[in-house]
A and B are shown apart, each in its own frame.
Chain A
Amino acid sequence: MMSDEQLVQDVLRGDNQAYEDLVLKHQHKIFTLAYRCMGDEDDAYAMAQEAMIKAYRSLHSFKGRSSFSTWLYRITINVCLDEIRRRKRRIIPFSLNQLLAAADGDEVQKDIVDESLAADQLYEQKELFLYIQQALNELRPEYRMAIVLRDMMGLSYHEIAIVFNCNLGTVKSRINRARSEMKKKLNERELLS
């Protein structure tokens, strides 16, 4: 498989197929990142689309000082944050109802947790992931993003500094605060021992 850098060079030489390859390669990560940021699949779709288009247009300014994926994450986060600001309000945390509905495609009642003790493990795991996203949605955007980039996407502190355009000290304190907040949320839901 061709490297990102090679594909970028090809796009800059006018090979649009190469950009499609880049999209195919990164689409799931970008879509996931946008979803974690926006908390909603429709919004994530629109934001991921916007980020990919923006990246295409500014590809000439990608100098390879960071990896292509880091650069792409940064654009995605900026696009999402711009949208959040544009709406001039905070993202309203989704209720569990909406989250379950969004994930399953049909309506699920909130009392589903009481339904059956024999609920299969897969469902429990899915429920856990939804709780986690719900807790993420309740965090302030910069904390949410810090925790997503570090603990869910495994970026290094240096990479996160590039994505946020801030220094290492800021990254450290932001991750620290984000984790404390998130831990509090998960403890409230009794998800940690």
Chain B
Amino acid sequence: MTCEYIRKLLSSYMDGMTNQQESRVVKAHLQHCSACRKELEQMKEMRAVLQQVPDLQAPADFPESITKKMKDRQNTVFASREPGEPRKASWMVACIMGIFLLVGIAISSLLPAGTIISIAEKYFTQEEGKNLAIGPILQRILSEGNQIDEVAEPEQKDLILDAQSGKELGAVKNKKVLTPGIDAGSGYNKESLPVMTPKLAHFYFLRINTSDAEETITQIRAVAAPYLIAGGSDDQAEYLYIRVEKSQAEGIIKELRRLGAAEPVRDTLDYTYEYSALSASIQQKQTQVQALKARENLTREEQDTLQRLNADIKQMQKKQKDINQCCSRAEIEVAVYEFSLKQ
């Protein structure tokens, strides 16, 4: 078991949030790996330090200030919007580019029905949750609607900028020509983009429940549009998670790729911790099997071991298959990058 794999589990292990199998694996690893032990010790120490930090006290006039503010707002017939910073054309360009150039996709199936899905259904389909998550986005889009629509209107095919034509973006005020372009097929190639720098697009904790590709894309574009901010670097892409019917996942990913450069694309099927832990165990046992098979003249005992290992592997593979089959939904992870023009 690699340290890298264990370290992904250490934090959950410390909080008792790993399953039995994971806990066993971590425990066994810790017995012989001093580096990971130190990592865990430090994490515990840090938790203890953080727990000591006391809460702040809200200022004495805080409760009163809320009542006052609420009254003030009630007395205002038309609530004026707080003056924002003047919109900059360059920001608009950055924003629009961001809408176009999404995507680094990983797909992972959720845990078997009855575990995560039921938990997720319970919490994530709450009405207020949806309002809180998507409401502000839609509101902002509506309030900024005209400008965004002007430039976000091109047909989907035009979303991938054409390197040859250096197609202009509609109504952008400064009329900068975005070239060379990005080809969805070949992926994002840094060298072909001398005038663009990928920047961090802001994350949003959004979960889209849909089996409709078009709807998904509409929502992603809506999300990406207003929340792109400056700063960060290309290794800090942020992620949206889209839960879809498993059978629809491939189709939706295909559609998503049309939105922009699909690099780095991570098509690895990484099911849940449970599934990964099984994979790890299978791999471990297969190594043992190979080692035994490589030898000649096995003793009776060794032959038994070989048989047992093979049976274990078979059983674990079956369990993986079960997990796979009872996952009705897949989760698509979409990285959102912002590309802006260098000034």
Taking beta carbons and an 8 Å cutoff, which residues of A are in contact with B?
20, 23-24, 27-32, 35, 41, 44-45, 48-49, 52-53, 56, 58, 61-63, 65-66, 71, 74-75, 78, 82, 85-86, 88-90, 128-129, 132, 140-142, 147, 150-152, 154, 157-158, 161-162, 164-170, 172-173, 175-176, 179-180, 182-183, 186-187, 191-193
Contacts and interface: CB of A to CB of B under 8 A. Distances in A.
B170 interface: no
Shortest Cβ-Cβ A-B pairs, 7 listed: A31-B58, A176-B11, A61-B128, A151-B50, A27-B58, A32-B55, A90-B231
B132 A74 contact: yes
A165 to B, nearest CB: 5
A170 B232 CA distance: 21
A123 to B, nearest CB: 15
Interface string B116-151: 100110111011110111001000000000000000
Contact of A85 (B58, B63, B85, B227): B227
B330 to A, nearest CB: 13
Contacts of B58: 27-28, 30-31, 45, 48
Contacts, number: 165
B5 interface: no
Contacts of A44: 56
Interface residues of B, number: 66
A151 B51 contact: yes
Interface stretch (B174-182, B199-207, B279-287, B288-296): B199-207
Contacts of A162: 123, 129
A176 B241 CA distance: 18
25 contacts: A27-B58, A27-B63, A45-B62, A56-B70, A63-B126, A63-B128, A65-B122, A88-B230, A90-B229, A128-B49, A132-B53, A140-B236, A147-B50, A152-B53, A161-B119, A161-B123, A164-B205, A167-B124, A168-B119, A169-B116, A169-B272, A175-B11, A175-B12, A191-B49, A192-B45
Contact of B129 (A165, A173, A175, A179): A165
B10 interface: yes
Interface of B: 7-12, 15, 17, 42-43, 45-47, 49-51, 53-59, 62-63, 65-67, 69-70, 73, 84-85, 91, 110-111, 116, 119-120, 122-124, 126-129, 131-133, 136, 202-203, 205-207, 226-227, 229-232, 236, 241, 272-273, 331
A162 B231 CA distance: 28
Contacts of A151: 46-47, 50-51
A58 B128 contact: yes
A65 B51 contact: no
B119 A166 contact: no
In this complex, the member of A44, A165, A182 whose beta carbon has the largest number of chain B beta carbons within 10 angstroms is A165
A28 B129 contact: no
Given A49-B69, A182-B46, A157 B17 contact: yes
